[in-house]
Amino acid sequence: MHRLIVKSVISDIDGTLTESRNTERLSLEALAAIREALDTRTDLEIGLATGNSHIVALSLARYIGLDFSRCPIISENGCLLWYRGKLYDICADYEEEIERSREIMQREAIGKIVRESYQNEYRKRDFAYYPLPGTDPLDVVCKIKSILEKYGIQDLDVRYSGYAIHIIPRNVNKGTAVKLYSEITGIDTQHIAAIGDSDTDIELLESVGISVAVANATEGLKRVAKIILSRPSGSGVAEFFRKFILFA
């Protein structure tokens, strides 16, 4: 197997580090491979990129066993980057419009077409909502876009991750945070590997030199991935570490 020069690995969580795309149970196989890599590759940084809130992502990193001295945590779909104890607020310039959108959602949408994510209490920039049972998520996305347009909200986008609907600044994504991480650390993006499973990971994979999709990833993500694993979700993450990092 050709040895890639990998200095950092950043993984999505839901659908990637989990046992499948239909559960929130973390894959023990993936966690074992990550811990082995941390023990044997002291030069390697391993981090997370997720749509979850910062506090949830940070807590997961802790219990996964990631090393906080070399662990980038990208949360809220790229709005926040945490590295070595410092939180970088990438979406700070959009604060006023984000707050307006949240007020509008409280008034116009919650309880009518969506319910609010429990994590919104802890979110800073990217707020998440779940379509009500019996509704089409993509139809709900269109309705929310119309509501925001009615109130003159122009710089925010509405995205469906396959798990939740997110309202986030239009020009911000997981890839935006990876580029900032690269600037902070001096690690060339060509030596960063990113692993994902859904269309919300497209910009993440496009921002790095080693783009990886698990076997059950969406077709959109597979089109931008340089490496498509033979195994799904967490078992695919373990496959990547064993083939390209641990050489087991």
Residues 243 and 206: their CA atoms lie apart, in Å, by 22
Task: Yes or no: say if 72 and 88 are a contact pair by the CB < 8 Å rule.
Answer: no
DSSP state, residue 18: B
Active site residue 155: no
Q: Which amino acid is at 113?
A: I
Strands (E), the chain: 8-11, 45-49, 73-75, 80-83, 86-89, 114-116, 127-131, 156-160, 165-169, 192-196, 210-213, 227-228
133 CB-contact burial (10 Å; exposed 0-12 / middle 13-18 / buried 19+): exposed
How are beta strands 165-169 and 127-131 bridged, if at all?
antiparallel
Of 12, 14, 126, 197, the active-site residue reads 12
Task: Report, as residue numbers or ranges, the catalytic residues.
Answer: 12
